[in-house]
Structure 1
Amino acid sequence: MTSALPNSLGNHALPSLPSLEDTLQRRWGNPWLLGPEVLPIWPIIDEISQKLAAQPSSLCANPSDYPMAAILVAEVDPVRCLAATLAGLRRGFTVALANPRWGQREWQQVDEVLQPDRSQPLVPDWELYVAKLPPTEIPEIKTPELLITTGGSGGQIKFARHTWETLMASVQGFQAHFQIATVNAYCVLPLYHVSGLMQALRTLATNGQLILQPYAELKQGQPFPLPAENPGFLSLVPTQLQELLNQGDTYLPWLRQFQAILLGGATPWPALLTQARTLSLPLAPTYGMTETASQVATLRPDEFLAGQTGSGRPLPHATISVLDDHHQPQPPNQPGRLAITAPSLFKGYLRVPDSRLPTPDSRLPTPDSPFLTDDIGYLNDQGYLHILGRHSTTLITGGEKVQPEELESLLLTTDLVQAVCIVGLPDAHWGQAVCALVVPQPGVALAQLADWLAPQVVPYKRPKYWMAVNALPQTAQGKVDRRAALAMARRLITD
């Protein structure tokens, strides 16, 4: 389906894409970022900007070249994370966003690619470091980029390369889709993820306000009050919405105030959608990813409440095509791989040098071809998108990606297991629950495996179920039969 960007937002003229510098100058000093009170982001941006301006010139190939340095931001505090990101881009540095809760496995990958000196933070007691762009990227990169991490095959971390222009194109598509000039948002998602970051940028660029509250605090039953005239948007993953609804009527009056509750990160289960519709919640199921700078299709709340299903129509800036195995367009209602064309598309993944250079990714967008995703879905006769699953083995748990091969490889490096297969069990709370089927070495308890894996990976990757089996099912070629392994796990969980 193809949609052209309209030249108006209802009665509002569609603004031109603002530059970062223009945006910061226009908003500077504005009480834009809110928590229990106004959050002091502007002096923090100024402080970090001065720190970056004082970096030695040796970080550049020569004074006229693009800096070979990047800024790695690994701040769990959302104000610090956002301030450091904006300050780095403002000073012309490429900024890489890191998950501060990564385990040893993930940090090892980042250290190999960007070589951050994590013993010398730019600011004492901050998780903010100078890093190095791979030499393969220097001749190619001409403007500051924002590197946002996403999981790849085998659990390999990839940095998706975005520019201010790709991010603003996403903002403009959001405005047009919801016919709104000023975007307000209530953010409970981390700002180092594209889902949290884009909430901040939408509000910053459109003269809106952003309310920040950690989800753990929101879940304690103390949401902040919303603006009366423009309550704005709340973004949740399905697991979070289910947890809030499990509190009875506690959150219902508050949730109903939002213009839309954007629901993404994983496919919501039917019972959750039915419950939300029965409770008259303004739900807006979305489809998007890091590579597209968040959503490229969204079901508007009025459509959801009227009984429409799926992920909605493509946003005005995006084209979504459904392709068969030969990359030919599928007719309506026929499933296939989703391919996306949009000005919000990333510029590719950060390349790494020498032995770490990955196999070229045929899914990357080019001027002549769209971005071929790993998702399977279809567009119905009215152009509404429906997602059916993943082309690969990727698991989605609580909105986070988990690659089974990564966990299997890690466990097989020990002398604790003979064989292992990671599968995703259907789960009403998490979407998929990570489950490890293992053939342990004699005398090894499952608790030993869980204890060994815990410091290696971020918490959401850790299996929620460990099952000891005598042998794993195999295909005729001698490989683990993942489909049969999943069936085995489902039998065991019900026994």
Structure 2
Amino acid sequence: MTTLAELVSTAHRDFADHPAVLGEHGVTTFAGLGAQARSVAAALAGLGARPGDRVVLALDNRPEVLAVEHGIWLGGFVRVAVGTRPHAREIAGIAADCAATVVVCAAELAARLDGQRTCTPESLLRGGGAFREPPRSPDDLVALMYTSGSSGQPKGARVTSAAWVAMVTAMWAALPPIGPGDVVLHVAPMSHFGGSVGSAYTLAGAAALPLPRFDPESTWDTVRANGVTAIPLVPTILDRLVTASAPAPASLRAVVYGGAPIQPAAQRRARAVLGDVLYQFYGLSEALAPLTVLSAADHASPDPHRTASVGRPVDSVEVSVVDTPGEDGEIRVRGPQIMSGYWNGAETPADGWFATGDLGFLDEDGYLHLTGRRSELIVTGGFNVHPAEVENVLAELDAVAAVAVLGVPDERWGETVAAVVVVEDGYELSEMDIQRACAERLAGYKKPRRIVFADRLPLTSTGKIAKQPLRSWF
């Protein structure tokens, strides 16, 4: 079985003369990327890292990210990518939890990571002497994928070489053919969903173009100027991008989104602007996307029931739903993309089935539908309310820019439905407008009884709406 390190070395060799990274200071070929990666591996070994040791990447989107990642994998180390959105205390906490040998970060962040050994990517690229690749196995640990920690402490999901290769292979099967000439634009954090999708592109010979900051207008300029063919995104960034866009550039062949649910209204807006290039991947930190795929052809379906799904399972993955009479069941998944367990925690069950914590159902055509998270289910007066159902209704209103629905304590009903609403610029919206819209589409017990208007919604480091901080607003 092919290992991740072998895929990395093969890409460096087979695409040697083709562009691997596009940056403000020029183009790095795959041969150059391979040389940089070996310098990184040697430098990490010089800092005391040994095969199996954890290396934390606290970097924004920048050209050096790929060299550091590839160096980690060639050296037999473990990638722990957290990005720069978490607070310095959270990054230090993750580094301590996994006993990281070093944190790779910018100098200004290093000054705030007390007690952690740090280095900059520039220092790693200068190298550290001779490098010899260690022997590899598909069972080797190659990454820890830390959960966002929106409730409770983040946990590190152990990802093996075999799981990462299975993820990449599933993406290759789901997406249009990838090769030299493709350019993947990184505007979503490379530390999370965007980087996973980007890995599939890089390992097939595509060039990566990282952007450190997201701005809708300048992003479209970058797409047109560089012939970008693919963009991995989370739904929040996708919606901001399409609402700022003129007609989509002809070069785009795949806009891949995932990492959080998408509201139907946002999905329709995206297709109206981008055309038939949308691909939705469903997955989790513990079970790498794509577990299911909603293809470009599925997005073009006239059936709103189909486009509301997250697609059908990929060939290597089994999906089951634990049915509860009268309710949606918990989704379980099994396949090679599932984690081997949590760092310092529970192993994956012996039967291989992982309980996702997501609720949903499989329709008669085999498409998976998500209805919410078990932990977010609102029980009001003995009735169950899925926040996504209420959010989708409110998102249909032109005046609603963003919305989050959650359950808050209530003396009479146990819990009651609450909504935090961001109003679109140039519009007015009242509580009465919201109640009227819900009365037309929802049962009475599902209507928000408490409503707060806000300028913006807090986001997690992965771009999801962070509902835990919103609870204090009530």
Which residue pairs with 1:338 in the alignment? 331
User: What does the per-residue CA deviation read over 1:156-215, in whole Å, with 9 as the maximum and x for residues that have no partner?
Assistant: 11111112221111111122233635484332211111x122222112222233333345
C-alpha displacement at 1:343, in angstroms? 1.0
Which one of 53, 56, 67 corresponds to residue 72 of structure 1? 56
C-alpha displacement at 1:77, in angstroms? 3.9
Distance 2:3 2:143 in 1: 21
Contact 2:417/2:450, CA 8 A, preserved across alignment: no
Mark the CA change 1:489 to 1:44 in structure 2 (over 3 Å): closer, same or farther.
farther
Distance 2:90 2:188 in 1: 20
The aligned amino acid for 2:264 is P
C-alpha displacement at 1:152, in angstroms? 4.8
Distance 1:28 1:482 in 2: 59
Which residue pairs with 1:366 in the alignment? 349
The aligned amino acid for 1:483 is T
The aligned amino acid for 1:348 is G
Mark the CA change 1:491 to 1:165 in structure 2 (over 3 Å): closer, same or farther.
same
Distance 1:434 1:44 in 2: 47
C-alpha displacement at 1:369, in angstroms? 3.2
Contact 1:266/1:431, CA 8 A, preserved across alignment: no
Given the alignment of the two structures, is residue 38 of structure 1 paired with residue 20 of structure 2, yes or no?
no
Mark the CA change 1:430 to 1:51 in structure 2 (over 3 Å): closer, same or farther.
farther
C-alpha displacement at 1:435, in angstroms? 8.4
**Aligned Cα RMSD in Å?**
3.9
Which one of 39, 43, 46 corresponds to residue 47 of structure 1? 39
Which residue pairs with 1:187 in the alignment? 186
The aligned amino acid for 2:205 is N
C-alpha displacement at 1:374, in angstroms? 0.9
C-alpha displacement at 1:87, in angstroms? 0.7
User: What does the per-residue CA deviation read over 1:59-113, in whole Å, with 9 as the maximum and x for residues that have no partner?
Assistant: 66xxxxx55x321221224322332222122112222212322125523532441
Given the alignment of the two structures, is residue 168 of structure 1 paired with residue 168 of structure 2, yes or no?
no
The aligned amino acid for 1:143 is D
Distance 1:372 1:435 in 2: 22
Which residue pairs with 2:241 in the alignment? 244
Distance 2:371 2:161 in 1: 32
- Count of aligned residue pairs for this structure pair: 375
Which one of 254, 258, 264 corresponds to residue 258 of structure 2? 264
Given the alignment of the two structures, is residue 473 of structure 1 paired with residue 410 of structure 2, yes or no?
yes
Mark the CA change 1:19 to 1:245 in structure 2 (over 3 Å): closer, same or farther.
closer
Contact 1:73/1:127, CA 8 A, preserved across alignment: no
Contact 1:244/1:251, CA 8 A, preserved across alignment: no
The aligned amino acid for 1:473 is D
Given the alignment of the two structures, is residue 253 of structure 1 paired with residue 236 of structure 2, yes or no?
no
Matches of residues 189-338 of structure 1 in structure 2 within 5 Å? Answer: 189-193=188-192, 195-214=193-212, 216-220=214-218, 221-225=220-224, 232-247=229-244, 250-254=245-249, 257-279=251-273, 281-282=275-276, 283-307=278-302, 308-309=306-307, 310-325=309-324, 335-338=328-331
Distance 1:245 1:430 in 2: 13
Which one of 111, 114, 120 corresponds to residue 98 of structure 2? 114
The aligned amino acid for 1:493 is V
Mark the CA change 1:302 to 1:435 in structure 2 (over 3 Å): closer, same or farther.
closer
Contact 1:297/1:313, CA 8 A, preserved across alignment: yes
| Structure 1 spans left out of the alignment, 5+ residues | 1-14, 61-65, 129-140, 352-357, 396-422, 438-471
Which residue pairs with 1:136 in the alignment? none
Contact 2:68/2:121, CA 8 A, preserved across alignment: no
Which residue pairs with 2:431 in the alignment? none
| Structure 2 spans left out of the alignment, 5+ residues | 103-112, 126-137, 379-386, 420-445, 455-474
Contact 1:348/1:365, CA 8 A, preserved across alignment: yes
The aligned amino acid for 2:236 is T
Which residue pairs with 1:382 in the alignment? 365
Contact 1:287/1:295, CA 8 A, preserved across alignment: yes
Contact 1:232/1:258, CA 8 A, preserved across alignment: yes
The aligned amino acid for 2:292 is A
Please give the secondary structure, in 1, of the residue aligned with 2:281: strand
Mark the CA change 1:226 to 1:171 in structure 2 (over 3 Å): closer, same or farther.
farther
Distance 1:288 1:226 in 2: 32
C-alpha displacement at 1:244, in angstroms? 2.2
Contact 1:200/1:210, CA 8 A, preserved across alignment: yes
Mark the CA change 1:41 to 1:241 in structure 2 (over 3 Å): closer, same or farther.
same
Mark the CA change 1:179 to 1:196 in structure 2 (over 3 Å): closer, same or farther.
closer
Mark the CA change 1:385 to 1:488 in structure 2 (over 3 Å): closer, same or farther.
closer
Given the alignment of the two structures, is residue 93 of structure 1 paired with residue 93 of structure 2, yes or no?
no
Mark the CA change 1:212 to 1:107 in structure 2 (over 3 Å): closer, same or farther.
closer
C-alpha displacement at 1:314, in angstroms? 1.3
Which residue pairs with 2:129 in the alignment? none
Distance 1:271 1:43 in 2: 46
Distance 1:258 1:277 in 2: 13
TM-score, normalization: structure 1? 0.65
Q: Give the % identical residues.
A: 22
C-alpha displacement at 1:237, in angstroms? 2.1
Mark the CA change 1:290 to 1:114 in structure 2 (over 3 Å): closer, same or farther.
closer
Distance 1:342 1:16 in 2: 17
Which residue pairs with 2:342 in the alignment? 349
Mark the CA change 1:280 to 1:209 in structure 2 (over 3 Å): closer, same or farther.
closer
